[in-house]
Amino acid sequence: MRNAASSIMACVACRLCGTALSLLLAATAPSLTTLPAHAGERAAGIVSRSLADIDYADARDALAEAIAEEGIAAPVVSHFADMLARTADDLGHRADLYAHAEILTFCSVGVAARLATEAAENIALCPLSVAVYALPGAPRTVTLAYRPPALDSAGGDAARALLARIMARAANLVGRP
């Protein structure tokens, strides 16, 4: 069995999914085998859409295609479910939190430029990302989810509109308008 330090290094190497949380969990939480009382609640501020009776790969490919149709380069893919499964023993959580889960990150130059001209700190909002996942008990229900920027500006509006278009286009591509 690997030790917690090697699991943390595996998470840090991922870099795209914000796994700094793994560092905190390894240092402060002895076990994640039980879910917190609020685990079934929706995450505040997250926009999600579930697609019923669909193959995970079809939904993921539709999401990548929807991103490409915006004229954006191919997204970087973070294999989130694999990372969680790989670190489960060392961090004490279940290995099967997701049947499948990936995070696709991408950057729209137009949106990025608009955000950067508003404030240099807006660089922290890039890249944008959309998660695609299925849960173990419902592998043919695939959910797309993103966190819209909470920025009240033209750049924030552009980012939210882009994310909404991508999600809607992905759903349309798999016949779920």
Furthest-apart CA pair in the chain: how many Å? 50
Q: What is the separation, in whole angstroms, between the first and last Cα of the chain?
A: 46
Q: How many CB atoms lie within 10 A of CB 27?
A: 9
What are the structural domain ranges in the chain? 45-173
Give the span between the Cα atoms of 177 and 162, in whole angstroms.
Answer: 17
Q: How many CB atoms lie within 10 A of CB 123?
A: 10
Report residue 38: phi and psi, to 5°.
Answer: -95, 10
Residues with Cβ within 8 Å of 164's Cβ and at least 6 positions away in sequence, in order, are 47
Tens of each residue's pLDDT in the chain, 177 residues: 444 444 444 443 344 444 333 333 333 343 333 333 344 456 889 999 999 999 999 999 999 999 999 999 999 999 999 999 999 999 999 999 999 999 999 999 999 999 999 999 999 999 999 999 999 999 999 999 999 999 999 999 999 999 999 999 999 999 998
pTM of the model: 0.78
Preceding omega of 127 cis (within 30 degrees of 0):
yes
Topology of the domain covering 45-173? TATA-Binding Protein (3.30.310)
